[in-house]
Amino acid sequence: MQYNPGWNGSSVNLLHVRAAGPGDSLHYVWSSIGAPAVLLVATQSPSSDLRVNWTQLLSANPAGAVWIDPPDSVVYSTAVVFTKLFEFSEAKPSGKLFYPTYELSEFSWDSLNHTLNHTALTAELRGVPATDPGGGFSNGSLAFRVTAYESGGRDGHLPSLLHTANSSQLEFLLAGVAPRGNSSRFVLEVATVEEAGTVRRLQSERSIDDEYTPTIFEVLSLVAEPQNGSSTLGFLQWKATAYGSASPRREDGIQCRAQGLQAANWSLPTSSIVQAYFGDSLGSTCTISALNVSFGGEEGEVYREKRYLSWSVLLGFGEPPRDTFSPLVISITAVALGTPLAMLLLGSCLVLLAQRRRYSEYEPIN
């Protein structure tokens, strides 16, 4: 993990997370220069590295300021940009009442270096609006907490996402922000950038197993696939829940919904890290898609009471991890289903045996 590689100042935030394998390497570049975003690059070289032209990156035209060396080692690259935070309330009978949008590109962000933990491989990007006429952020903040992984496993806190060494976790945190309505709900807009030949697709999977995330049976994945193939290049994955506590329990669950993936026919807000890498192709050959993720039920009571919101999403390369039944669940299921079946078979055998004995004591009547 490198903070602002090649730059001594802390007035801007750029975090480079590099994972090296025997024949390849993965790069995650998190930044709050402009709109908060992450650049994901996979290479076929174990020694590839990030290069930044800081003078150009901080200029009005950052195209070409960020690249991977050697450039021909790159096999896949994408970006995820967190653009806006909407707030609305269910104003009956007139419908939804939207409040002024929080543009994340206009936030003021704290130095990420203060929260960087090289041992735990975590960092937190925290910010507030540069101007806040309504005072909603006077005692609160919005944050993105990043966690990198060296191996596979499962996160210790709900929703207990299953991860691999090819993925990183992001937590979207809203803490202490005063809602502007009695039943406010929040919506986070997430945009993705894909180079020519790659498309994004939103898929939902349901399971009867809620062992690791009680009462939640749906997992959503935003996967990137080549147009002429079936292999998955990268993904965003999350469970259909958020939580209203820093130490979440089942009862702290907040409803989470994805409102559909749409082709974005608008230009991205200022996000220098994305413009710096993709350059002129960002407005021509690249495909930009947007997804709205909403939090809260119709009443929005959990957030209004606790003023805390946490949503976890996994980002990575290749196929998204898939949960399977644990040996404990398999054993319990086998006992639960096997015992009645064994009793049924035993009972059937006893009945048949009793019938044969009863009829064998009599001669048939002519």
Q: Percentage of residues in the chain with pLDDT exceeding 70? A: 91
Residue of 177, 249, 262 whose CA lies nearest to 214: 249
User: Does residue 106 sit in the same domain as residue 255?
Assistant: yes
Q: Residue 350's pLDDT is what?
A: 83
Least-confidence region, from 6-15, 225-234, 237-246, 351-360: 351-360
Q: Which amino acid is at 202?
A: L
Final residue belonging to a domain, choices 297, 317, 337: 317
Rounded Cα distance between 252 and 273, Å, is 35
Looking at the domain assignment, is residue 322 inside a domain? no
Residue of 124, 82, 90 whose CA lies nearest to 106: 82
- Mean pLDDT (whole number) for 204-231: 90
| Cα dihedral 103, 40, 237, 160 in deg (nearest 10) | -100
CB-neighbour burial class of residue 214 (10 A; exposed 0-12, middle 13-18, buried 19+): middle
- pLDDT at 333 exceeding the cut of 70: no
- pLDDT at 332 exceeding the cut of 70: no
User: Does residue 121 sit in the same domain as residue 155?
Assistant: yes
User: Does residue 46 sit in the same domain as residue 69?
Assistant: yes
User: Does residue 260 sit in the same domain as residue 340?
Assistant: no
User: Does residue 259 sit in the same domain as residue 348?
Assistant: no
Looking at the domain assignment, is residue 127 inside a domain? yes
Q: Residue 280's pLDDT is what?
A: 86
Q: Which residues contact 125 (CB under 8 A, 6 or more apart)?
A: 13, 30, 32, 36, 109, 110, 112, 115, 143, 144, 145, 146
Looking at the domain assignment, is residue 54 inside a domain? yes
Looking at the domain assignment, is residue 136 inside a domain? yes
- Mean pLDDT (whole number) for 292-302: 76
User: Does residue 219 sit in the same domain as residue 347?
Assistant: no
Number of domains in the chain: 2
Q: Residue 349's pLDDT is what?
A: 87
User: Does residue 60 sit in the same domain as residue 162?
Assistant: yes
DSSP state of 298: S
Task: Provide the domain limits for residue 195.
Answer: 2-317
Write out the E strands in 152-233. Answer: 153-154, 162-163, 167-175, 184-194, 198-206, 218-226
- Mean pLDDT (whole number) for 85-99: 81
Helix, strand and coil content of the chain, in percent to the nearest 5, comes to: 20, 45, 40
User: Does residue 142 sit in the same domain as residue 172?
Assistant: yes
User: Does residue 312 sit in the same domain as residue 336?
Assistant: no
Rounded Cα distance between 128 and 105, Å, is 11
Final residue belonging to a domain, choices 295, 317, 339: 317
Q: Rounded to two decimals, what is the model's pTM?
A: 0.88
Q: Residue 363's pLDDT is what?
A: 65
User: Does residue 336 sit in the same domain as residue 243?
Assistant: no
Mean pLDDT of the chain: 90
**Distance, C-alpha 227 to centroid of its chain:** 23
User: Does residue 61 sit in the same domain as residue 8?
Assistant: yes
Q: Residue 329's pLDDT is what?
A: 59
Looking at the domain assignment, is residue 75 inside a domain? yes
User: Does residue 310 sit in the same domain as residue 354?
Assistant: no
Looking at the domain assignment, is residue 323 inside a domain? no
